[in-house]
Amino acid sequence: MRDKLLPFAPPVLGEEEIAEVAAALRSGWITTGPRTHLFEQNFAEFTGAAAALAVNSGTAALHLALVSLGVGKGGVVIAPAMNFCSGVQAIEQTGARAVLVDVDRETLNIDPAEVDRAARSLRSGERLAAIMPVHIYGHPCDRASLIAIARQHGCALIEDAAHALPASYEGTMIGAAEETGIPILTAFSFYATKNLTTGEGGMLTGPPDLIQEARVRSLHGIDEDPLSRDSRSAPWFYEVTRPGFKYNMADIQAAIGLAQLAKLPGFAARHAEIAARYNEAFAAFEEFRIPACRSGIVHSWHIYALRLNIDPPGFTRGEFIAELRRRNIAASVHFIPVHMHPWWKETHGSEPDDFPVAHREFRRLVSLPIYPAMSDRDVEDVIEAVTAIVHENRNAAATA
Ligand SMILES: Cc1ncc(COP(=O)(O)O)c(C=O)c1O
């Protein structure tokens, strides 16, 4: 058994990040500036995006996507119930109505059939403004079906790609520019646990006009177009052209991002390697369902979500996580579905079984550690701990 705790998702930082941050500090320019703009350019190049805007969180990127599209009162945005709260809260902050739908049993991504049903069941006077899927765990959702529904209803697609860096769908990188006939904006998160981190941070990619609108909104609505003000004769002059927010990324954060982005292909390869080893080790256990990975996609393996077949093994998810912890392995759960939180229950009066797949699958989920700094020994420690728990449980069941 390990004698030291294996953390769940520590940031993977090295001398390169430290050197970039030190250079930013020494430069004297610490807020949005040259490093942020270079990070945007490099990120757009990496993902194939037409334009990119760096912001101070993934949540800010989602909120700006909605605002830039003009989503507000009378609008409806459809999102999956198996989700982190942030996108759904951003929808409600705009005054639009968030409509939750259930997820696909296999991938736990938004179920296009449920999206279609919800899109046909709006209240009178409402307009479908956008669909906001999550590429959950880094497995791209069924984009083709969602784009078809969005085209039918003339609405936008806002992809929550907090987990999906780097990932691709049918050869298209998540976040890349694409001709679909509908506006598509993609939001990434650089939170401390993410595949690429800047401590806190995010990026929004999409068509240049929408990204420009988001850029203005990200900084109090100040229009930085040099033609809109007489910056040569009065450099102190600026104009606030519309309501905005304080969502800009600082160069200190971008410095970390630049170093992380250079390492991302190596990080991604290690994520995939660990996932393959876990799959190989756990596939044969009747106690588990290993994560889905459909053909035609590249998974980022941000989260490795194992599912317990709760009925046969007789141990609960809570006991399983506690047993892992006793063996010095940290684990987590992604996610408590949105409709099961007091905030949503109190405001929308929902019951757990309103979204039966999300509810049932949530109770079986256990996320195992997966990050590039894990050594082969760490990976084997996780596998040994999981295997030991199963065998102990089998023995206990046999003697009961
Ligand atoms: C699916 C998903 N969407 C959005 C976010 C929000 O990102 P941030 O924490 O950068 O605001 C997160 C998480 O941290 C997430 O997991």
Q: Which residue ranges form the domains of the chain, and what is each CATH number?
A: 15-259 (3.40.640.10), 264-399 (3.90.1150.10)
Better-scored residue on pLDDT, 313 or 271: 271
Ligand 1 centroid to Cα of residue 194, in Å, is 9
Residue 90 pLDDT? 98
Alpha helices in 154-223 (DSSP H): 208-218
Q: What is the mean pLDDT of residues 213-235?
A: 77
Residue 315 pLDDT? 76
Residue 202 pLDDT? 99
Ligand 1 centroid to Cα of residue 38, in Å, is 23
Contact 169, 295 (CB under 8 A): no
Say how far apart CA 53 and CA 397 lie, in whole Å: 55
Residue 56 has pLDDT above 80, yes or no: yes
CA 280, 275, 307: angle at the middle one, nearest 5?
80
Ligand 1 centroid to Cα of residue 162, in Å, is 5
How much is the pTM? 0.97
Q: Which tokens belong to 377?
A: 């020994």
Q: What is the mean pLDDT of residues 102-113?
A: 98
Give all strands of the β-sheet with 172-173 in edge-to-edge order.
Answer: 172-173, 168-169, 297-298
Q: What is the mean pLDDT of residues 312-317?
A: 73
Say how far apart CA 331 and CA 191 lie, in whole Å: 18
Contact 90, 113 (CB under 8 A): no
pLDDT by residue (tens digit) across 142-195? Answer: 999 999 999 999 999 999 999 999 999 999 999 999 999 999 999 999 999 999
Best residue for ligand 1 mutational test, from 55, 77, 85, 86 (most atoms within 8 Å of Cβ): 86
Closest ligand 1 atom to Cα of 160: 3
Q: What is the mean pLDDT of residues 57-71?
A: 99
Residue 229 has pLDDT above 90, yes or no: no
Best residue for ligand 1 mutational test, from 189, 245, 334 (most atoms within 8 Å of Cβ): 189
Residue 85 pLDDT? 98
Cβ of 59 closer than 6 Å to ligand 1, yes or no, is yes
- Protein residue closest via CA to atom 7 of ligand 1: 58
Cβ of 58 closer than 6 Å to ligand 1, yes or no, is yes
Q: What is the mean pLDDT of residues 95-107?
A: 98
Residue 312 pLDDT? 55
